Amino acid sequence: MISDHQLQLIEQQLGRKPRGIAEVSHQTADGIPVVLRMHSLVDDKPFPTLYWLCSKDLYKAISQIETGGWVKQIEQQLEHDSELRQAYQQNHRDYVALRQGYLSEDEQRRIEELGFSELFQRYGIGGIAQWDKVRCLHMQYAHYLAQPGEGCNVIGQRMEQEFELSKLQLKL
């Protein structure tokens, strides 16, 4: 359940009223929301990701990483490192299953009625269909924060190891 206070903080972070939030999946020790779990269907349209990064500070830091060409570097590693590629593709499979597990019966029925069932099986982290490519580091890191531990998002894990994003002082 999202508190009114959390909703106010999220609105302040996003600069608009949020839509489609299911819960706050990760927050700072001070209670600042960092990652939101989203409903898979918002206004009868598929939402592109299960986890949404709402921290402005992390968003800016990750944008700089993307601008610096790290996506191409990690995609080259995925191409040449079969173990990393297999782990990343497993992350996508786990993500699809996790998203499916969060759907209520009503949501599943509505997705079927709208003809989106196959789409929800094909699209992985961040709404990507090519599971050997990296579409958005923000969504990879959000997934990493929301689902830590064994088998966590390997791209997010590498980002943390290389850039130590968890050491950023996050504020509103």
Residue 41 lies in a domain: yes
- Please determine, for residue 137, whether its predicted confidence score (pLDDT) is greater than 90: yes
pLDDT given at position 172: 81
Residue 59 lies in a domain: yes
Distances (CA, A) of 109 to 10, 41, 42, 117, 149: 30, 11, 14, 9, 32
pTM over 0.85: yes
pLDDT (average), residues 158-166? 97
pLDDT tier at 150, thresholds 50, 70, 90 = confident
Taking only the tens place, the pLDDT of each residue in 73-128 is 999 999 999 999 999 999 999 999 999 999 999 999 999 999 999 999 999 998 99
- Please determine, for residue 1, whether its predicted confidence score (pLDDT) is greater than 90: no
Rounded CA separation 102/47 (Å)? 13
Residue 145 lies in a domain: yes
Residue whose C-alpha is closest to residue 91's, from 126, 55, 56, 44: 126
The answer for residues whose C-beta is within 8 angstroms of residue 150's C-beta and 6 or more apart is none
Q: In b/e form, how buried is each residue of 127-145, taking b as 16+ CB within 10 angstroms? A: bbeebeebbbbbbbbbbbb
pLDDT given at position 144: 97
pLDDT (average), residues 119-142? 93
pLDDT given at position 159: 97
Residue 48 lies in a domain: yes
Taking only the tens place, the pLDDT of each residue in 20-76 is 999 999 999 999 999 999 999 999 999 989 999 999 999 999 999 999 999 999 999
Residue 115 lies in a domain: yes
Total of domains in the chain: 1
- Please determine, for residue 143, whether its predicted confidence score (pLDDT) is greater than 90: yes
Domain containing residue 150:
4-167
Residue 66 lies in a domain: yes
Residue 41 phi, psi (nearest 5)? -125, 120
Residue 172 lies in a domain: no
Rounded CA separation 127/34 (Å)? 20
